[in-house]
Structure 1
Amino acid sequence: MFIRCAFFSGRIKPGREAEFTSYVREKLVPLWTRFPGAEEVRVLRQEESDSDAQRYEMVLAIRYPSREAIEQALASPVRFESREVTKGLTEMFDGSIFHTVFKADDFALPTD
């Protein structure tokens, strides 16, 4: 499996935290969950870190079964729509956004 992540490196502008959260949930999650081939969508919000050097206000992680599925999602109309809607989110955010694709393996936890 593969997981494509969008890292929002930086901070939400002061006083816009609730607006940022609502915008993600109400406008972007409905789009991200429609990406073709997506098997899971997670929105991660940083609660704490052992380093002050880097802050990730949010990480979007979408799981796909293959690289081909990622390519289909990136070429889809809903992805282009989400890019337009994300522009509104960036008005509430000071920082940068970058994407990374991870190859992921699952490991079962011991049952005893």
Structure 2
Amino acid sequence: MADSGCWRPPRDCDDYWSEWKHCKSLRNRFHNYYTYGKAPECQEWKRDYMTCRDWEKTKSNNLKEALQQSEKTRLEGKQNNSPVWTLRKNPPPDWYLPLDPGKPRQ
């Protein structure tokens, strides 16, 4: 990818279109609203699709950098999710004992 002559977008341009169509679907909107409490932002997929198509026509360095930055931002956003529960450092002190259904949980 260092040579601009053989650089390709991180995804096929049609993949951006498919992602945009999926993002706009009713099922995905409902899922995002249920999971995150808000509707998904879909315009970035359409913008990336248009940028990719324009890059295929012109091979512009600015468009190339825009696609790379968009993918980088998308990957960074995926890594910002907080864990659902805290990981414990050690097992519980009585982990080896048989389970007792009558024992109150701590």
* Fold conserved between structures, TM > 0.5: no
Superposition TM-score, scaled by structure 1 size? 0.30
Q: Which has the larger radius of gyration?
A: 2
The structure that is strand-richer by fraction is 1
The structure that is helix-richer by fraction is 2
